[in-house]
Amino acid sequence: MNYFETEFINYKNNELFIENIKASELIKQFGTPLYVYSKNHFINQYKKFDNAFSEIDHQIFYAMKSNFNLSVINTFVKLGSGVDVNSEGELFRALKTGIETSKIILTGVGKTKDEIRLGLEKKVLMIKAESEEEVELINKIASEKNLVAPVALRVNPDVDAKTHPYISTGLSKNKFGIDSATALSIYRRRNQYKHIQFTGIDMHIGSQITTIEPFVEAISKMSELYFTLLDEGLKLNHFDVGGGIGVQYNNESSFTIEEFAERTIPLFKRLDCKILFEPGRYLTANGGVLLTEVLYNKQNGEKRFVIVDAAMNDLLRPAIYQAYHHIQPIIKYEGRNDIVADIVGPVCETGDYFARDRKIAQTLSGEFLAIMSSGAYGMTMASNYNARRRPAEILVDENKVIVVRSRETFEHLLWDEKVF
């Protein structure tokens, strides 16, 4: 079988290491299922992204929906990143890092009145509006507070990102954003909104995009709108590209951040404004692994199953997106044959699987597997289905091991719940 390795998560003498720490040692200390993150992977990815666009005025806003652990957020904040928050809860988490509120963007297709009020009270950099009714509501709430709200419109450029339909957000049939004609109409009627200052134009066409062309098409379309507004007297402060840059989970032929910059910087240089980016998956996905114990090997007729102690409630992506995550043993044993099996969890759902008909090295009961590329959309989508406790999260920094979130207890599951 093939083994998936990165600069900071790789095999040394046939044992899987996260930076300088053996996966087996972490399992002995903290048990499984267990999320483990490489801090230096996060740092390296951020610096690569930042350096790629060094010749233009830009700002990165970490999309914390990919991984909202406080220590992960803080890693990027310390590097100078802003944060893209998508809810009141994410804003609450971001503020716990001590980030300046002027480096927070409040996004989301369905913001509540309370979320809008909180964003205004905290003086976030901008509120990203996704419908005309939302613009009207922001104006009303800002009026009640005698404030001027900084607002950008998320415009839907109707571009096919060629990704999984559940994470495509830039087509007119998707719920996200405002179509270009309506956005232009809102910008032109800006004087109607006495308590709004339109500060920018935003897009986000999808997630896990592995070709540059959809970005180039969308940026070009959005630039036309930018120049139309400029000609009509509206000078915008920023142009927000969103996120969506794909990473390698398997054998995707994705582009590098340097290639992305080379293609897009000439487009950005035409614009007289700051360029904003909202990467999430790109920064975190391949910096995390989910470690799990093999409970049983099972044969049903011709079908083989490897049953592990992690489940869909710990990592949901394979169940809802049919997403690929490479799965490999934490120790390469000599003389083991490869098998073809489904790797499944213990939850009471047929959809509780991590891989189907996957070629994998034979692993015995009581041994351990690593589910790779689990640093994004892992714990953020985890649940307590079947009354299962969510895993602990560990951050590794070279030789240091930090418990950044302990494993839930059963008492956590009963918090504020009563028998009546």
The annotated binding site for pyridoxal 5'-phosphate is made up of 244, 278-281, 377
Residue 400 one-letter amino acid:
K
Q: Give the separation between CA 170 and CA 242, rounded to whole angstroms.
A: 11
- Could you please report the per-residue DSSP string of 345-411? -SSS-TT-EEEEEEEEE---TT-EEEE-S-SSSSGGG---GGGPPPPEEEEEETTEEEEEEPPPPHH
Tell me, what amino acid is at 41?
A: H
Tell me which residues are annotated as active site.
348
Binding site as annotated, residues for substrate: 281, 317, 321, 349, 377
Q: How far is CA 374 from CA 73, 222, 285, in A?
A: 16, 33, 6
Task: Tokens for 355, please give them.
Answer: 């891989």
Closest CA to 37 of 290, 279, 248, 247: 290
- Six token digits for residue 46: 């951020």
Contact 344, 352 (CB under 8 A): yes
352 within 8 A of 376, measured Cβ to Cβ = no
Binding-site residue set: 244, 278-281, 317, 321, 349, 377
